[in-house]
Structure 1
Amino acid sequence: MNHILDKNKLIAHRGDNTNHPENSYAAIESALLAGAQFIEFDIQMNADKTIIVFHDEDFKRMSDKDISVFDVTNETLKSLSIHEPNQFSDKHYPTYTSSLDEILALLKSYPNVTYLIEVKLKSLKHWGLKTVMKKLLTQLKPYSHNITVISYSVAALEYIRQFSDIKIGLVFNNYIAKHKDIANKLKPDYMLCPYESFPESGYWQGTWEWMVYSINDIETAKIWLEKDGIDYIETDDITLLLNK
């Protein structure tokens, strides 16, 4: 049986994070090589005010080091391996955190892929929204045609709407009425929620398309892509779902 799913509807969550440390250069490159047409990754701002591709607020999970992302310098990152030891042991040692600029340089070779960049709430709170968003928009300006900025932060998305034509996506964990009200006002291009939270019927319709996360097996993916209202699914195992 042919299990290949429509690659135009699959989003690689933090790159190919089943086979490589999440958000790493290798994970993103692997997803690209597998043929993913949508790739999501996270950003934080470190002690040098460099935007780095990283999810957590510290390095405990990725490096087994109790170091805050807000205290780590660019120099320290050169020797701090993010090989995700609890998941991969030493298989990917050493792997290093990439700056956003390093990942954007990779993306130049794949201009037809859409990239979802999630701005993390912790960086916005620590450094201030304007500090993070102003620098982010400056870096993203040459890539605006295939970039979407996503966030749980409504303020960050409003900033994008005010100062850029980059697409935006509203992320939330629970399908509750307040998010409908926010969406009707914000008019995001995408809405992202857990697939378990998406209603069986009567979903909110608007200017946006729906993305649900995270689905990591073929049969569940097929079921959800056949559901009314679902435009895309996000997965941690992009190579499996692409049948590569």
Structure 2
Amino acid sequence: MQVENFVAHRGWRQHYPENTLIAFEKAIQAGTVNIELDVQLSADHIPYVFHDANLMRMCQREGFIWDYPAAELDTFFATESYRLGNAFPDNPMCRLSDIVALLQTNPAVNAYVEIKEESLTQFGEQIVVDAVINTLRPVASRSILISFELSALRLALHEGWQRFGAVFDVWPDPQSAALVELQPEVLFCDRNCAPIDLHLSTLPWPILIYEVGSKTEAEDWFSRGAVAVETFLIGELLKDFALNTGK
């Protein structure tokens, strides 16, 4: 296996608040060359790296991320205290532009950027897709748009974006017209939805399996033809495979 076969899901989430700059920085320091992140929009259409629409789990704040403008969100702390206690009391929320800067200073790293359904529903596809791709343009060659919502990806394709993946929690039709049009580099598939009797290398698209939590499980998926695995334990898995060659 190579380090390219592993993706840091929301950064090094096992030890740091997910989808925040410190989680991605530590994942890169551990040796990852692939990070995965989620995007939601603020009230004024600024893209933030955030999984939930609701702010409570990460920030212990009432309401939704789109209830607040960016200037106010920048005063919130993404501590994920329900899981991590008081370990990161002053940890800021992360803008997508912060990830652009991170990629610019780490030219070997690629980002899988997931456009979330909640913001697409709240604002409409055009506003969300434009906000995301306009922010990512300086690092477009290393930014792969992914989503459960293939229509949003198709809109980005029609606006000239070139790199795509797709995300599924049920087994997809690999011959679907949307996938054929997108020509995705990889399909992110939930580990619970892949048919047990199917060798993944026989499919027309490379398959990445999420969420993988151990070396044994990763080895099993690789033996079944997965091209990569996504994990919250990026540092641990890279170490287990003797790939932790980071700083």
TM-score, normalised by the number of residues in structure 1: 0.91
8 A contact 1:77–1:97 mirrored in 2:
yes
SS in 1 for 2:113: strand
Q: Any stretches of 5+ residues in structure 1 without a counterpart?
A: none
- Aligned counterpart for 1:126 among listed residues 99, 113, 122: 122
Distance across 2 between alignment mates of 1:97 and 1:164: 29
8 A contact 1:52–1:98 mirrored in 2:
yes
8 A contact 1:13–1:236 mirrored in 2:
yes
Amino acid at match of 1:213: Y
Q: Does 1:221 align with 2:218?
A: yes
Amino acid at match of 1:76: E
Residue-by-residue CA offset, 1:168-187 (whole Å, 9 max, x unaligned): 1111101144x642423433
Q: Does 1:7 align with 2:3?
A: yes
Amino acid at match of 1:214: E
* Partner residue, 2:235: 239
Cα RMSD between the aligned structures? 1.6
* Partner residue, 2:81: 85
Structure 1 residue 166, shift from structure 2 partner: 2.6
8 A contact 2:13–2:233 mirrored in 1:
yes
Alignment of 1:140-151 (within 5 A): 140-151=136-147
8 A contact 2:164–2:182 mirrored in 1:
no
Distance across 2 between alignment mates of 1:180 and 1:94: 47
* Partner residue, 1:184: 180
- Aligned counterpart for 1:154 among listed residues 126, 150, 153: 150
Distance across 2 between alignment mates of 1:20 and 1:166: 31
Q: Any stretches of 5+ residues in structure 2 without a counterpart?
A: none
Assess, with a 3 A threshold, how the Cα gap between structure 1 residues 202 and 185 changes in structure 2: closer, same or farther.
farther
- Aligned counterpart for 2:171 among listed residues 171, 175, 188: 175
* Partner residue, 2:206: 209
Residue-by-residue CA offset, 1:173-219 (whole Å, 9 max, x unaligned): 01144x6424234332211111221123165622x321110001111
8 A contact 1:137–1:164 mirrored in 2:
no
8 A contact 1:160–1:168 mirrored in 2:
no
Structure 1 residue 78, shift from structure 2 partner: 3.0
* Partner residue, 1:110: 106
Alignment of 1:191-202 (within 5 A): 191-199=187-195, 200-201=197-198
8 A contact 2:39–2:113 mirrored in 1:
yes
Structure 1 residue 35, shift from structure 2 partner: 0.8
* Partner residue, 1:64: 60
Distance across 2 between alignment mates of 1:159 and 1:176: 20
Distance across 2 between alignment mates of 1:123 and 1:70: 8
Distance across 2 between alignment mates of 1:236 and 1:195: 14
SS in 1 for 2:135: helix
Aligned residues between the structures = 237
SS in 2 for 1:108: helix
Structure 1 residue 81, shift from structure 2 partner: 1.2
Amino acid at match of 1:226: S
Structure 1 residue 141, shift from structure 2 partner: 1.6
8 A contact 1:124–1:132 mirrored in 2:
yes
Runs of 4 or more off by more than 3 Å in structure 1?
A: none
